[in-house]
Amino acid sequence: MGTEATLAKYRLRPFDWASAATCIHLARSQARNLGHRPPAIPRFRSAVGARTALAAQGHGTLEALLDSLFPRIAPAAMLLGDLAALPGEGPFPAIMIFDGGAKLLGWHGADPSGIKPVARAMGEIVGAWRL
């Protein structure tokens, strides 16, 4: 139910720094929908602003932020709704939601118009977190 609520919220929202439609917003929404109470995300309107906000929170990377909030797990141990990080196209990794099968759900460069399933990405995961 929690993962479906997250996907419903972001499925048709294009990736956009200025309108809070980013990977970290997706991850926070997913965590909240699964019963966690992650801290609020400071407002930012660009990748530079996001990097500044992350540093102000005391973290050098998104992975470090997620490590401070959730237990890191092996990608092979992921369950439906867990978070995974893939190499990103910019300064941050792509944070996605595991679908419980063999796909990750999130924005990707080929079509950033909304949340899409990404197949054959399991071997590219650089981090995973249990929600």
Residue 73 scores a pLDDT above 90? yes
Residues contacting 29, CB < 8 A, separation 6+? 5, 6, 9, 10
> pTM for the full model?
0.94
Where residue 55 falls among pLDDT bands split at 50, 70, 90?
very high
**Of 48, 33, 124, residue with least CA distance to 82:** 33
Least confident of 73-82, 92-101, 105-114, 119-128: 105-114
Q: How far apart are CA 91 and CA 87, in angstroms?
A: 9
Question: Is 83:95 a contact under the CB 8 Å cutoff?
Answer: yes
**Architecture of the domain whose range is 2-129:** Alpha-Beta Complex (3.90)
Q: How far apart are CA 23 and CA 106, in angstroms?
A: 8
Q: How far apart are CA 44 and CA 25, in angstroms?
A: 11
Phi, psi for residue 119 in degrees, rounded to 5: -90, 160
